[in-house]
Amino acid sequence: APSTSKPVQTKLGAMQHATALGLLVISAIFAIGAKAQDLGTSTASRNDSRERKRYIVRFDVKSGDGYKKSLIDSSPKGSLEVTTSYTHVLNGGFAADLTPAGLEFLRSQPGVTVEPDGVVRALYPVGSADVVPTTEARKSAHDALPRAARVPSYSADTWEIPWGLDRIDNPQLPLNGLYAALELPLSAVHAFVIDTGIYRDHAELKDGVCADEADHYSVFDDGEHVAVDRVGHGTHCAGTIGGAHVGVAPGVRLHAVKVLGDDGTGTNEGVAAGMDWVLTRLDEIEQETGVRPPAVASMSLGGGYSAFINDAVTDLHNAGVPVVVAAGNDADDACYGSPASSADAITVGSSALHASGVDVGSYFTNYGSCVTLYAPGSDIVSAGISDSEELATMSGTSMACPHVAGVVAQLLAQEPSLTPGEVKEQLLARAVQGVMKDAEGVVEPNVLLQAVAAPSPPSPPPAPPAPPPPPSP
């Protein structure tokens, strides 16, 4: 198991270094975005030896492709090559490889802001390697993961409810072995899992995951099928959101948005592209059906602080999509990372069930003023990827995040017109306050998720009083 000691670091250092236990940090820089060539690029010589670096460009006000193309065409020759173009987020900005001259040019333009691309990482199970570099190493690491026993059938005699579900349907302990969720029209709600992809043939997911390839997205070339999960992280999160037996909201429409690669890493450029696609797909669904469906985005990933990733969260929030994110697993202030530090995110810390039978903060969880609430995140059972019935046990704020996304789906099924701000208010109103202890990890704020549970059956009426004894003879 990894060391739990916390390195001494400045706030700036922490903002530049998101580590540990589960928040997948992306080290690869890759080219994404089909629209880049349509916009044009500043022609560069193949022999140009000047150093290029990847940057993300945001416009201060909403800009169309015409302005974007004009800006690119006016840049110094060979200084700028677009890799991704955004439609909805960052006011229609783009990502590009820039020479120093290209960077200087963009910084001189009014209404244009530039940020270096950054690395992000999804949450591996506690105890696994931070980065798994090769296919064989990934397989070996996966085979070594702790997991629940496979369950060949989900009969009442063999199935045990994951403790996280059991915990969120009752404000008080002890657990009772039940998850009594209110029956709701969850198939009307769309959940976008921005992660490593989804194993769509898993028995837990196949009835809820969207069947059309157009309902899934990847920044990578996955071959015949879009957003294939070869890591297991996204599948596990999807199972907790909407799995048939392990999910908070069974029946919700699941979309795979693959922004993290088969080594579990990605970039801010790719994450923003995935968030941009969410709004594109919702626009398409509205055009096809005449109705814009209620939707939630779940992001069990993070990296160093990025104003632009936080801005993209705000763009989804302003478009009516609540964004649920993992707080991080550094046992540190969640405000140091993104998207956890976004004011418009629903940021989730991780809780655990202590051996003494009380709720505690998980030892790894991030905390602080940027955290909205906590949810079960230690030793969570959900869908695996080795076969269609595998159940895997993972830990991290990545596992807490989809519990909250599932409850958001419940709230939207109950009231489809809720705004993201109203969703957050309802989450906090139904959460239980003050029950977690600081026995392992820091608990700040002391707010624990509660699902939209079915009402408890009324207590049986009291037994009638016993008749008086017969009189003595």
Beta strands in 174-279 (DSSP E): 190-195, 217-218, 253-258, 265-267
Q: How far apart are the first and last CA of the chain?
A: 79
What is d(CA 416, CA 435) in angstroms, rounded to the nearest whole number?
A: 30
Q: Would you report the helix, strand and coil content of the chain in percent, each value rounded to 5?
A: 25, 20, 55
Name every residue whose Cβ is closer than 8 Å to that of residue 398 and which is 6 or more positions away in sequence.
22, 23, 122, 123, 233, 236, 237, 300, 301, 326, 329, 377
What is d(CA 115, CA 124) in angstroms, rounded to the nearest whole number?
A: 27
List beta partners, residue 265: 121
Beta strands in 107-218 (DSSP E): 112-116, 119-122, 190-195, 217-218
Q: Are 120 and 130 in contact (CB under 8 A)?
A: no
Does the bond joining 339 to the residue before it have cis omega, within 30 degrees of 0? yes
Q: Which of 190, 202, 216, 233 is catalytic?
A: 233
Q: Are 94 and 57 in contact (CB under 8 A)?
A: yes
**Active site annotation includes 233:** yes
What CA–CA distances, in Å, run from 178 to 114, 139, 162, 175? 50, 34, 9, 8
Other beta carbons within 10 angstroms of residue 165's beta carbon come to 25
What is d(CA 84, CA 33) in angstroms, rounded to the nearest whole number?
A: 4
Candidates 192, 221, 224; CA nearest to 323 is 192
What CA–CA distances, in Å, run from 220 to 121, 194, 299? 15, 13, 18
Candidates 181, 208, 203; CA nearest to 193 is 208
Q: Which two tokens stand for residue 401?
A: 């995040």
**Active site annotation includes 398:** yes
**Active site annotation includes 70:** no
Measured at the CA of 276, the angle between CA 343 and CA 370, to 5 degrees, comes to 15
Q: Which of 88, 351, 398, 403 is catalytic?
A: 398
Q: Which of 166, 195, 315, 344 is catalytic?
A: 195
What is d(CA 125, CA 364) in angstroms, rounded to the nearest whole number?
A: 11
Name every residue whose Cβ is closer than 8 Å to that of residue 433 and which is 6 or more positions away in sequence.
446, 447, 448
What is d(CA 345, CA 349) in angstroms, rounded to the nearest whole number?
A: 13
Residue numbers annotated as active site: 195, 233, 398
